[in-house]
A and B are shown apart, each in its own frame.
Chain A
């Protein structure tokens, strides 16, 4: 049982480049989330989805877009990366109020 899988694990971008982070879960969960984690700060919610075809903004959505075309996948896009988006990104899915996290993507924007 793979749980929540994130790809890639590491990425380095130049300012202005675009990329997509992929999150896949095999637990048939309706709810999925994208968080970012910065040193000394708690996780901050970027976007979330309550089911296939739905997305909603979280606490820090600016500069990011998401899509949930299939129930098992939740994609996070950066259209024009900025140094302020250097962070560790976590995807999570939830069931019965418990969250299950992926192992994270370390993104550096130079």
Chain B
């Protein structure tokens, strides 16, 4: 069974600092990996999708890398802002269903 882990569970940084969020998974046989953002009381919003053949994806200040062989992905958020405060979840797709991590809750202090 695929296990997805996100450490730490919570993170607090001052505004302007770069954020580094980690995701690890136990089975490297995946089709893709997605990063999501969840705001309090809201659903998830897809941020980045990395196919298994790709090493990274970028969107604006966000960059996600994927190392399938080591079972790891990292989400980088450059020059963090208070509006980046949210919970970030990663999910891997080993088959036709996603396996989610529990998320990292980020607080960016003004």
Contact = CB atoms under 8 A, between A and B. Distances in A.
Bound pair: A and B? yes
A58 B97 CA distance: 8
B89 interface: yes
A1 to B, nearest CB: 14
A50 B96 CA distance: 10
Interface string B60-91: 00000000000000000000000000000101
Max chain A CB contacts within 10 Å: which of B36, B97, B101? B97
A74 interface: no
Given A42-B4, A97-B49, A103 B43 contact: yes
Max chain B CB contacts within 10 Å: which of A4, A43, A44, A90? A43
A97 B32 contact: yes
Interface residues of B, number: 24
Interface in B5-51: 9, 31-32, 34, 36, 41-46, 49
Contacts, number: 52
Interface residues of A, number: 21
A90 B44 contact: yes
Contact of A102 (B43, B46, B103): B43
A32 B96 CA distance: 12
Interface string A46-71: 00101000000011000000000000
A99 B34 contact: yes
A41 B43 contact: no
B42 A104 contact: yes
26 contacts: A4-B43, A40-B102, A42-B4, A42-B91, A42-B99, A42-B100, A42-B102, A43-B44, A43-B98, A45-B97, A45-B98, A48-B97, A50-B96, A92-B43, A97-B32, A97-B49, A97-B93, A98-B34, A98-B46, A99-B34, A99-B46, A100-B46, A101-B43, A101-B44, A103-B43, A104-B43
Interface of A: 4, 40-45, 48, 50, 58-59, 90, 92, 97-104
